[in-house]
Amino acid sequence: MSLSRRAFFRNLGAGPADSASREFIAARGREALVNEMWRSGLSYEEAEAQFGPPPEGAIVISSNENPLGPGPAAYQAVLDGLDQWAGRYPTNFRPSHADLMQTIAAKFDARSENVTLGTGSGEILENAAKAFTGPDKALITADPSYMQAVSVARRHGHPVKTVALDANLRLDPEGIARAARGAGLIFLCNPNNPSSTILPASDVEALVSEVQRSSPDTRILIDEAYHDYATDSAHQTAIPLALRTPNVFVARTFSKAYGMAGLRLGYGIGHVDTIRTLAQWTHVFNSNNLANAAAVASLNDPAHLEQERARNTAARDYTIGVFRDLGFEAADSQTNFLFVNLGRPASEFRDACRERGVMVGRDFPPMENTHARVSIGTMDEMRQAAEVFRQVLA
Amino acid sequence: MSFSRRAFVKTLGIGGAAALSSSYIPRAYDLPSFWTPTLLAQEGPLLLHNNENPLGPGDRVLNAIREHIAPDGATIGRYPFALTGGLARAIAQRFDVEPGNIIMGTGSTQALRTATQVYTSPTKALVTATPTYEECTQYAQLIGSAVVEVGLNENLELDLDEMAAAARGAGMVFLNNPNNPTATVHPEDAVNGFIDDVLTASPDTMILVDEAYHDYVTDPRHVSQIPHAVRNPKVMAARTFSKAHGMAGMRVGYMIAHEDTVRELSPWHSFNTMNTPGILGATISILDTQRLEEEAARNTEARQYTIDWFKNAGFDATDSQCNFIFVKTGMNAQEFRDGARENGVMVGRNFPPYQEEWARISIGTLEQMQQATEAFAKVLRVNATAAA
């Protein structure tokens, strides 16, 4: 064992169940940990065995993915793209970046200038943290929430203020507005990952108005990664609000309902002043040709999105019922995952499920001792997973 | 039919248009979006402006991707976490290094940005050339780092002595070898001497060698700095799949460095930035050395044809070690570019301070270069037949 590997284990402790590695995964994700481990001398095989890909044949309901992938039109666009255009930079490919931005803008009655693309919406979140936080301009976020912007702010040494969820695991708009005074950026994940709940559109508007009054220079980023899975009529996209309100912008992804997590594409949309600043940080050629082609095809196929939403809703309702029958209540999920109070550590539940071929979500501090996150797969997968949940939770 | 298409057909005549439709002619970015790929494949101008591989990736790469995403694309719905390890192992195998020596990302540019982020600041300058590849320069400016740009020498090579002198106390030196846009390369002893000079005078300065065009180099005195980078924590070598590997549209690149350097950079390097088809394609391509050699040979032949054509027409190019040439047309680059465009060929942008007389032209297939030189003959008002 190399010196650095020993040092790494000393830092991390014994193994996957250790709290240091759990914290690492919580902060930066499983992939980052695998990378970190092999960089420290562990062989890839060893690192992957502990933290890597799921066992063959496992039901993977851990990363909030769409189990079916993109629709037929998008899949065909990928195949067509492969046939001729993989060797060309995105500016020389049709649809180009510009075409995709135009297609996105048209969907929201906006202009291309209102849109900026990202390698997943993650790049939008990271660029927002770089562009809009600073040593004296804090990032405000709910806790727990999606961590990517937080990680970047912390890496740069910029202050991060967290605001706890309320008793129903919803974002606390008053608390967030209070914390936001003088802040650089508010990160608002709506619906929120991992708690799966929405902040109703009226509350979002009230929060925006309050922040504009009390802290007019603060930017507000609303991450709508799971928007397409929301079924509660109280939820609405904040994109129209963002388009007419300087300082407000929305992030969207093709990784969830559009089924393109493997193609790495997302976008930011909002008022041109904010988008222009954000776009300065955009990585050159950040989205690939196949993603661009699949995205345009998907956006032109709204019926498929409806179908995917309906499919998810049915499997979600079924899974909520399974937990309810076992005596466990999930938060009001408006996403493709559940956040369930199991009254036991998530790691216990996760390890027991994994042994039985079902992979569920990681720890979400500070709720890792009570709540588990379970993604929604196909109905068939959820039926099989339900058998395992019954065994594990009995 | 667009204006440029009309001009193109007029130039080539019927026979030319027929030959064109049977070959791989990519489309340009500013054509109307409602055109179908098939139409565009036949109608677009020659794309000799972005230093791409005109053939794209090989069948082994494409088939591996098709197989993985068949039959319905469901695997595209998954994050590529489980695939990145395979690519790291394949790169490690190819260069006899450890996965812990490798940083992968969205093109090589992601690693260039990360290194610039970590190693430059308002007081720790980026030292770079001008003209050269500008990603580090632009990112350094964005984050407010100091930038020192050193002009080229009279042979349009990087001025290694001046750059070494400027590197004293700098955060990082960017060395593009071969250099884009001038196509020139520095031999092993010159680069080693440069690295020694920099580190002797300024031991804390990092040296990033961008080898994007390495696979196209034919000068035997050139060697990769990858072995050096693995041994020396101050040296990093960046590579891309966008050039000889033909995967510009799939956005994968990497950097190889000492394990300690990788560990220093990785917290600043965004994860989950590579896509499933790109990762799979790169994993196959990096070990397909046969296709890489074929691609290099194909490029060398087309490059030599183009350089010879210009020479016979009375125009000198630098000694290109890339898939593009930098040629002294004696004409303003924009004028040349506009003229070439009128005749169905797109060539590179302006590269100050050489924009008054020099143009950068990417190397397509031999057939494409034969067509392109007909267009260049018109623009430069030379007798095409005599030049050929």
pLDDT over 60 at B38, yes or no: no
Percent of chain A with pLDDT over 70: 86
Q: Are residues B98 and B240 in the same domain?
A: yes
Q: Are residues B41 and B142 in the same domain?
A: no
More confident site: B135 or B44: B135
Examine residue B115 and state whether it is found in any structural domain, yes or no.
Answer: yes
Q: What is the pLDDT of residue B81?
A: 83
**Whether B29 and A92 lie within 8 Å, measured CB to CB:** yes
Examine residue B65 and state whether it is found in any structural domain, yes or no.
Answer: no
Please list, in sequence order, all residues whose beta carbon lies within 8 angstroms of the beta carbon of residue A253, skipping any fewer than 6 positions away: A120, A121, A225, A265, A266
Domains annotated on chain A, with CATH: 54-68+304-393 (3.90.1150.10), 72-300 (3.40.640.10)
Least confident stretch, B26-35, B198-207, B234-243:
B26-35
pLDDT over 60 at B216, yes or no: yes
pLDDT tens for A132-184 read 999 999 999 999 999 999 999 999 999 999 999 999 999 999 999 999 999 99
Examine residue B221 and state whether it is found in any structural domain, yes or no.
Answer: yes
Q: Taking CB atoms and an 8 Å cutoff, what residues of chain A touch B242?
A: 89
Neighbours of A351 (CB within 10 A): 14
Q: What is the pLDDT of residue B353?
A: 97
**Whether A52 and B55 lie within 8 Å, measured CB to CB:** no
Q: Which of B287, B303, B320 is the last residue of a domain?
A: B287
pLDDT tens for B150-177 read 999 999 999 999 999 999 999 999 999 9
Examine residue B19 and state whether it is found in any structural domain, yes or no.
Answer: yes
Separation CA A284–CA A280 (nearest Å): 10
The number of C-alpha atoms within 13 Å of B377 and in the hemisphere containing its C-beta is 19
pLDDT tens for B222-249 read 999 999 999 999 999 999 999 999 999 9
pTM of the complete model beyond 0.95: no
**Whether A75 and B56 lie within 8 Å, measured CB to CB:** no
Contact call for residues B283 and A320 (beta carbons, < 8 A):
no
CATH number of the domain where residue B340 is located: 3.90.1150.10
**Whether B26 and A260 lie within 8 Å, measured CB to CB:** no
Q: Are residues B114 and B249 in the same domain?
A: yes
Neighbours of A111 (CB within 10 A): 13
Cα torsion angle, A173, A175, A178, A184, sign? negative
pLDDT tens for B278-327 read 999 999 999 999 999 999 999 999 999 999 999 999 999 999 999 999 99
Range of the domain at B371: 3-57+290-387
pLDDT tens for A259-308 read 999 999 999 999 999 999 999 999 999 999 999 999 999 999 999 999 99
Separation CA B129–CA B176 (nearest Å): 8
Q: What is the pLDDT of residue B5?
A: 33
Q: Are residues B281 and B295 in the same domain?
A: no
Q: Which of B262, B287, B312 is the last residue of a domain?
A: B287
pLDDT over 50 at B42, yes or no: no
Percent of chain A with pLDDT over 90: 83
Q: What is the pLDDT confidence band of residue A48, given thresholds at 50, 70 and 90?
A: low
Nearest CA distance, A166 vs chain B (angstrom)? 31
pLDDT tens for B248-284 read 999 999 999 999 999 899 889 998 999 999 999 999 9
CATH number of the domain where residue B179 is located: 3.40.640.10
Pick among B46, B66, B91, B271 to test the A interface (most A CBs inside 10 A): B271
Separation CA A392–CA A357 (nearest Å): 12
**Whether B110 and A82 lie within 8 Å, measured CB to CB:** no
pLDDT tens for A73-100 read 999 999 999 987 789 999 998 899 999 9
Amino acid identity at A141? T
Nearest CA distance, B386 vs chain A (angstrom)? 33
Q: Are residues B168 and B236 in the same domain?
A: yes
Amino acid identity at B308? D
pLDDT over 50 at A189, yes or no: yes
3-state secondary structure of B47: strand
Q: Taking CB atoms and an 8 Å cutoff, what residues of chain B touch A82?
A: 62, 65-66, 277
pLDDT over 80 at B361, yes or no: yes
pLDDT tens for A362-381 read 889 999 999 999 999 999 99
How many A×B Cβ pairs under 8 Å?
Answer: 226
Q: Are residues B249 and B159 in the same domain?
A: yes
- Nearest-by-CA chain A residue for B260: A39
Q: Which residues pair with B324 in a beta bridge?
A: B362
Examine residue B66 and state whether it is found in any structural domain, yes or no.
Answer: no
Report chain A's mean pLDDT, rounded to a whole number.
Answer: 90
Separation CA B99–CA B104 (nearest Å): 10
Task: Look at chain B and report how many structural domains it folds into.
Answer: 2
Q: Are residues B129 and B145 in the same domain?
A: yes
Q: What is the pLDDT confidence band of residue A120, given thresholds at 50, 70 and 90?
A: very high
Q: Taking CB atoms and an 8 Å cutoff, what residues of chain A touch B26?
A: 84-85, 88, 92
Q: What is the pLDDT of residue B118?
A: 98
Q: Taking CB atoms and an 8 Å cutoff, what residues of chain B touch A280?
A: 142
Examine residue B67 and state whether it is found in any structural domain, yes or no.
Answer: no
Kindly state the helix (H) or strand (E) to which residue B206 belongs, with its residue range: strand B206-210
State how beta strands B324-328 and B253-257 pair.
unpaired
Q: What are phi and psi of A371, to 5 degrees?
A: -110, 140
**Whether B74 and A69 lie within 8 Å, measured CB to CB:** yes
Q: Are residues B227 and B103 in the same domain?
A: yes
Q: Are residues B41 and B128 in the same domain?
A: no
Q: Which of B287, B305, B338 is the last residue of a domain?
A: B287
Q: What are phi and psi of A264, to 5 degrees?
A: 60, 75
Which residue has tokens 């222009």? A276
ipTM of this complex: 0.91
pLDDT over 50 at B39, yes or no: no
B193-213 exposure pattern, b = at least 16 Cβ within 10 A, e = fewer: ebbebbbeebeebbbbbbbbb
Neighbours of A205 (CB within 10 A): 15
Q: Are residues B381 and B309 in the same domain?
A: yes
pLDDT over 50 at B20, yes or no: no
- Closest C-alpha to A63, from A112, A11, A122: A122
**Whether A294 and B281 lie within 8 Å, measured CB to CB:** no
Q: Are residues B240 and B125 in the same domain?
A: yes
Separation CA A70–CA A295 (nearest Å): 9
Q: What is the pLDDT of residue A83?
A: 87
Separation CA A199–CA A170 (nearest Å): 7
Q: Are residues B240 and B154 in the same domain?
A: yes
Examine residue B129 and state whether it is found in any structural domain, yes or no.
Answer: yes
Nearest CA distance, A205 vs chain B (angstrom)? 32
Neighbours of B385 (CB within 10 A): 8
Nearest CA distance, A179 vs chain B (angstrom)? 27
Q: What is the pLDDT confidence band of residue A17, given thresholds at 50, 70 and 90?
A: very low
Examine residue B135 and state whether it is found in any structural domain, yes or no.
Answer: yes
DSSP A153-183: HHHTT--EEEEE--TTS---HHHHHHHTTT-
**Whether A92 and B47 lie within 8 Å, measured CB to CB:** yes
Separation CA B310–CA B333 (nearest Å): 15
